[in-house]
Amino acid sequence: MIEDFLGNPITIASLIISVASIGFGIYVAVTNGRLLLLGLKSLRRNLLRTLLTAAATAVLVLMVTLIWTILFGLEQMTRERARDLKVIVTERWAVPSQLPMTHAEYLRPGSPAQLPELRGMYGPDDFMLWSFYGGTMDPAKRDPANLVFFFAMDPESIIPMMDDMEGLDPELIRRMRSTPQGCLIGRDKLAAIGNKQVGDRFKLSSINYKDLDLEFEVVGILPEGRWSQSAVMNLDYFNRAFDEYARARRVPHPLSDRRLNLIWIRVKDADQFDRLGGAIENSSMFSARPVKVERASAIIGSFLESYSTLIWAMKWLVVPAILAVMALVTANAISISVRERRTEMAVMKVLGFRPSQVFQLVLGEALLVGGGSGFGAALATFVLFNGLWGGIPFRLGFIPIFRIPSEAALWGLAIGAATAFLGSVVPSWSARSVKVSEVFSKVA
Amino acid sequence: MGPFRLYWLKWIAAYPVTSAFLLIFALILLAALLPLLVSLLPIRKVPLTYNLRNLQVRWKTTLVTALAFTLVTALLTFMLAFVRGMDALTEESGHPGNVLVLSDGATDEAFSNLPKFRVELLPRDLQKLIPHYEDGERYLAAQEVYVVATYQVPLPRAGGPTRRFVQMRGLDDLQVAAAVHELELAQGSWPSASGVRAITVTGEGGAPRQDTAPEVVLGESIARTLGIDAGKEALVPGDTVRIGPRRWFVVGILKAGVSTFGSEVWARDTFIQEYFGRTNSYSSYVVRTADARTARLAAELLKEFRSERNLQATPERVYYAKLSQTNRQFSVAAYVVAIIMAIGGVLGVMNTMFAAISQRTKDVGVLRLMGYRRWQILCSFQAESLLMALLGGALGCALGSLCHGMTATSIVSGGAGGGKSVVLRLIVDFGVLRTCMTFALLMGALGGILPSWRAMRLRPLESLK
């Protein structure tokens, strides 16, 4: 958690900006409480302008929060960790990886066929197999709405190996084990395929394994958020379907020896990863169907390469443009305000306010509006999106949803304050330089 | 008309809140644009020169507000150019007369598994629909094996990818396949009869040694991408590239065009099958027919054709149209971003216009006393807001247009697994510019309506006090 927090430069920068903004507010309140009250009164006096500026800041902060959440999520997935590395073994040269099921036995802990070099390196809780089974409920009218994609896997691997599954009720695993055709499905997927409930049964016509049409029983619901559109089925049930096919037709299914897609292994550290990779990639057991061993983060990074323009545009075009629009909106509002209040500022100077205090007053007003509305907008975005949809429902390849992190509130405060500062520093300086004689000569 | 009406009624019944919101939005929009329409009528007497002079006098505020419009419009132009590029890719890929055959149940070429195929195996009535290649012997049909291969970037840039997925297509006869897909060579030649070329590679210890490499033809986009990875502008015939387990010899480059084939590497089917574990397996068959109507007929006949496997045949254009799911998602995302930014911009314009009006209440009083009517005042201030939008929007379109022709990477997919990684060109056409300008003007109209309304409501004598 701390590692994630400190590893993200946006969060670090947000923390610094937020601390500086709040520090400035406290400094003004402590050294000159009157100035703070004056600022608040001034904001209230032109309530419409304050509200319009705050609303503009809020909607733009909402957008930046959404975009940064997606970028933050992608960054988290592709970040290389020092410990507890997840490693994926896949077909060496082609995508999608399609391996024979026998490959799993050379790597499975406790299997008599496990490569001797790997024995003791990782345990049963550090090992997971994934086969993908996709099927439609309506073969006549295939539609994403009636398609279900399953991760066919050993139920025992779900909690220890899958991300964000730590809180899954172990009772669901027991139910999956006791019901071969039992499956766990995300709430959104259940709703999409006709509001299915726990206990309901349905049949799928396979779209990737011709003639392997299977019946399923929903035994539980996957956690909200990342998995709300996913589904998990028993690997044994999947394998048995191939056996039955071969028995019934006296020939193996055409894809029988290409039905294992990914093998996941968790290793302690980079050193163990190197040893594991060397042992597997150099093993003669895999010479007929070569495999490669990679960190999960590297594989995800390669998949995301297709989205590189989109990610680049979000990072370097959309976000800067939004920040610039925010700064312009604030600059405009504060400039107008300063122009309208030149007499007031001249009077303040006559009353003994120093130029630096006038500067602080105008800057403080902008920071209060920007920082306050930014913080509020980010907090509302966090509550609204995570509460309603479990995150931002923007599908990017195999990632269906992005959960907004709690530090987003900090981003909002920082974005609002920083753009308010940029937009108001010139008008504030102009307010500081108001010449009493000039203003009063014009008034006269 | 009946079904049309019913459809909208059903839609309104299904989304009552959205419908109400859209209705309110439409009314506001109408009210906002009405002054513009009125001002264009011959009876106009709106003091537009007064507004122009005001914009000129308050040039700093005008500039800052217009700049916000510029940014939003430029960004929208870029995003729509990206979506337009993707649309063009899926629209232009596939010939209207081609029929694509996958194994029954497969949603994508990557998941399809078919045996070897010959047109001669088809019934006579189906054979008749397929024309011959220019030699008069071979049919215009191709059997293709499609794989996504892994490729290590030879000279990775700092922060850049170290690995890519490269789409490879194995074909039994590249020349015929190119004719089926209406592709031509820009440089080089088609693979030789053997499909293999002798090359010299650096062996262990740095000593040169002789080796062989299967010949490949590269799409124009992938030639550029792989070339940049190798530290040059683009790969050209004579270059070699290591993809998957082999080094391949480039013999030709396909002519640049707008299609997904521009991102593919073509080789002989036997090599792809051998090196990527697809022995005796094909992904698709593509057959050419005379036109779109014949293609539909052939697709129906092919579906009924009983072979070793059940076939799923679709006109090629239909298949590629289904790959536009990602385009739609990106298109929606582009509009969401633009609309949210526009809301920010609209609120900014409101600020500007409210301030302009509060500074000019006396002017409004004078104008009213001079005989200008309320609606003319409304039109006058609304025109001011629209002028800023026009200025900012035009600048934004001009700025955004700079991205025209730039290349970008993306993925096209039908949303049911699979998908193709593509290199596309951003397209700024009249449609994109029209949408962006309309968007900017709507922003101006919406941002100006409330302040203009307030100006219109000012009483002449009170405003002069």
pLDDT digits 0-9 by tens, B100-135: 998 876 777 877 888 888 888 888 888 899 999 988
> A294 phi and psi, to 5 degrees?
-140, 155
Residue B414 pLDDT: 62
Q: How far is A342 from chain B (nearest CA, A)?
A: 13
Q: Rounded to whole angstroms, how far apart are CA atoms A321 and B310? A: 52
d(Cα A245, Cα B339) in Å, to the nearest integer?
53
pLDDT of residue B161: 75
Question: What ranges make up the beta strands (E) of B361-404?
Answer: none
Residue B220's nearest CA partner among B423, B56, B33 is: B423
Q: What residues in B contact A140, CB-CB < 8 Å?
A: none
Q: Find chain A residues with C-beta within 8 A of B166's C-beta.
A: none
When CB atoms are compared, the residue of B148, B164, B359 closest to A94 is B148
Strands A262-269 and A83-91: antiparallel
C-alpha span between B39 and B46 (Å, rounded): 7
User: pLDDT digit string (tens) for A75-131?
Assistant: 888 876 767 789 999 988 887 888 999 999 999 999 999 999 999 999 999 999 999
A372's enclosing H/E stretch is: helix A355-389
Residues A213 and A241: their CA atoms lie apart, in Å, by: 9
Reading the block at residue A326, the tokens are 């925010």
Q: CB of B411 within 8 Å of any CB in chain A? A: yes
DSSP class of residue A228 equals T
Are A254 and B113 a contacting pair at CB < 8 A?
Answer: yes
- Phi and psi for B228 in degrees, rounded to 5? -60, -40
CB-based contact (8 Å) between B440 and chain A?
no
Partner residue facing A321 (CB), from B71, B104, B275: B71
Distances (CA, A) of A149 to A108, A232, A341, A439: 25, 8, 63, 72
DSSP state of A314: I
pLDDT of residue B30: 67
Beta strands in A196-334 (DSSP E): 201-206, 214-222, 231-234, 262-269, 291-295
Residue B464 is predicted with a pLDDT of 76
CA distance A208 to chain B (A): 6
Taking the C-alpha atoms of residue B302 and residue B285, their distance in angstroms, rounded to an integer, is: 11
Q: How far is CA B172 from CA A94, B143, B166, in A?
A: 20, 6, 20
Task: Give the gyration radius of chain B's Cα atoms.
Answer: 30
Which pair of tokens denotes residue A279?
């042992």
What would the mean pLDDT of B434-444 be, rounded to a whole number?
Answer: 90
3-class SS letters over B172-210: CCHHHHHHHCCCCEEEECCCCCCCEEEEEEECHHHCEEE
SS3 A219: strand
SS3 label, residue B415:
coil
B332 in contact with A at a CB cutoff of 8 Å? no
What gap in Å lies between CA B392 and CA B352, rounded to an integer? 14
Q: What percent of chain A has pLDDT over 70?
A: 96
* Predicted local distance difference test score (pLDDT) of residue A329: 87
pLDDT of residue A193: 86
Residue B239 has pLDDT above 60, yes or no: yes
A52·B64 Cβ contact <8 A: no
The pLDDT value recorded for residue B42 is 47
Average pLDDT, chain A: 89
Res B3 pLDDT > 70: no
Residue B416, pLDDT > 80, answer no
What part of B 113-152 touches A (C-beta under 8 Å)?
113, 147-150
Other CB atoms within 10 Å distance of the CB of residue B257: 17
Q: What is the DSSP letter of B116?
A: -
pLDDT in tens, A247-264: 999 999 988 988 999 999
Question: Structure tokens of B425?
Answer: 């060109």
Q: Is the separation of the CB atoms in A73 and A275 below 8 Å?
A: no
What pLDDT was estimated at residue B98?
94
Residue A142: its chain B contacts at CB < 8 A? Answer: 107, 416
Residue of B nearest to A329 (CA): B348
> How many Cα neighbours within 13 Å face the side chain of A424?
28
Q: Is pLDDT larger for residue A77 or for residue B220?
A: B220
Residue B130 CA to residue B98 CA, distance in Å, equals 10
Give yes or no for residue B4 having a pLDDT over 60.
Answer: no
What ipTM did this prediction achieve?
0.77
Contact A298 B163 (CB under 8 A): yes
Lowest-confidence pick of A402-416, B30-44, B438-452: B30-44
Q: A with B: how many residue pairs have Cβ under 8 Å apart?
A: 188
d(CA B182, CA B192): 20
Q: Please report how many Cα atoms fall inside a 13 Å half-sphere around the Cα of residue B371, on the Cβ side.
A: 1
pLDDT digits (tens, 9 = 90+) for A189-229: 898 888 889 999 999 988 888 789 999 999 999 988 778 88
What is residue B459's DSSP assignment?
-
Q: What percent of chain A has pLDDT over 90?
A: 52
**Contact between A329 and B330 using a beta-carbon 8 Å cutoff:** no
Q: What is the pTM assigned to this prediction?
A: 0.80
- pLDDT for residue B43 is more than 60: no
Which tokens sit at A342?
Answer: 């030149």
- B117, B232, B220, B222: which is closest to B166 by C-alpha? B222
Confidence tier at A170 by pLDDT (50, 70, 90): very high
Q: How far apart are CA A238 and CA B29, in angstroms?
A: 56
Sort out which chain A residues have CB atoms less than 8 A from B60's CB and list them. 335
Nearest to B374 by CA among B49, B35, B56: B35
Reduce the DSSP state of residue A234 to 3 states and report it.
Answer: strand
Identify whether the C-beta of residue B173 lies closer than 8 Å to the C-beta of residue B182.
no
- The mean of the pLDDT values for chain B is 84
User: Which of the pair, A151 or B208, is modelled with greater confidence?
Assistant: A151
Is B333 in Cβ contact with A144 (below 8 Å)? no
CB < 8 Å to B310, chain A: 210
- A299-304 long-range contacts (CB < 8 A, ≥24 apart) are A299/A88, A299/A90, A300/A77, A300/A78, A301/A78, A301/B161, A302/B150, A302/B161, A302/B163, A302/B164, A302/B165, A303/A397, A303/A398, A303/B165, A304/A74, A304/A78, A304/A396, A304/A397
Higher pLDDT, A92 or B41: A92
Chain A residues in contact with B411 (beta carbon < 8 A): 306-307, 397
In angstroms, the CA A151 to CA A261 distance is 10
Question: Looking at the predicted structure, is the pLDDT value of residue B310 above 50?
Answer: yes
Which is more confident, B326 or A405?
Answer: A405
- The pLDDT, as a whole number, for residue A310 is 85
* CB contact B106 to A (< 8 Å): yes
Q: Which residues pair with B166 in a beta bridge?
A: B149
Cβ of B105 within 8 Å of Cβ of A144? The answer is no
Q: Which residues of B touch A308 (CB under 8 A)?
A: 161, 409
State CA B273 to chain mean position distance.
32
Residues of chain A with Cβ-Cβ distance to B340 below 8 Å are 59-60, 62-63
Q: Over 50: is that where the pLDDT of B1 sits? A: no
Instruction: Return the closest-CA partner of residue A283 out of A102, A78, A39.
Output: A102
Q: A160 to chain B, minimum CA–CA distance in Å?
A: 27
Tell me what the mean pLDDT of segment B378-403 comes to.
Answer: 90
**Confidence band (pLDDT; 50, 70, 90) for B381?**
confident
The verdict on whether omega for the bond into residue B35 sits within 30 degrees of 0, i.e. cis, is no
Q: What does the pLDDT read at residue B294?
A: 94
Give the Å distances, CA to CA, from A95 to A33, A113, B45, B276, B288.
65, 26, 68, 9, 29
Closest by CA position to A335, among listed A55, A134, A53: A53
